Each structure stands twice: as C-alpha cells, then as structure tokens.
Amino acid sequence: MHMKSSGPSQPPASGETFTASRLTRGNLLFPVRIVVTPLHVSRVKPRLFGTTDESIAIAQVASVGITTGIIWSQIRIDSTGGSDPITSHGHRKRDAIRIRELIETYQAGRETAPARQ
C-alpha cells in the first residue's frame, strides 16, 4: 500500500492551476490558465463560447523556459514530440517558477516509479 504525505514538499494529487493576470494583453476578459497535474500540463484559454485547451503529457515535456519582465513573466513549455510549445504570458514570477518545479517534481516521480502494464 502506498501512502502519500500531504506535507508542503508534496504537490497535490489533482494538480495546481495558475491564472494569468487580467492586466496583461489578451487576458482582460478571459485570462489563460495553466493547469499542471501528475499526468499533463495544459494551457486553457476560455472564450465566449467554450475553451481552447492545449496539453502536453508530463513525460513528453522537454524543457520549461521562463522569461521575466518588470512585473510579469512568460512561460514556454516545449515538448519532446516536436509539437508546438505551450506559451503563456502574464504570470507572476513565483507562479512561473512553481509551474517549472511541479513539472520537474512530477517527471522525477515518473522516473522512479515502476512502469505500469
């Protein structure tokens, strides 16, 4: 039986959501959300009718780049599969860093976990 600790070093099992600031270009009415779970990282862009969702499996994330400005940061998540990267701007620096940490933590957990069949 495997028990998960709920301490601060463990990310929540359901993942975390990071919303871009409404004060940044393109995020006024419908701010972009980055959702990081143990299985995938998604960019969710709400629209008037529905949403646009881009997703990369955690195992397929090749790199995470953060570009910081005076106030806001941009994050770029590249895939090993050669598909278009997930990009999002208007995030706080600490949120961008947390996104990268979660992805690295989930990837490290997958590398040490036994393969499921």
Q: Which residue has the higher pLDDT, 55 or 12?
A: 55
What are the helix (H) ranges across 10-112?
93-112
Domain architecture of the chain: domains with CATH: 17-110 (2.30.29.180)
- What does the pLDDT look like over 24-70, one tens digit per residue? 988 999 999 999 999 999 999 999 999 999 999 999 999 999 999 98
Where does the chain show beta strands of DSSP type E? 16-19, 33-36, 40-46, 51-57, 61-68, 73-79, 86-91
Confidence at residue 14, expressed as pLDDT on a 0 to 100 scale: 77
- What does the pLDDT look like over 72-84, one tens digit per residue? 999 999 999 878 8
Secondary structure class of 92 (helix, strand, coil): coil
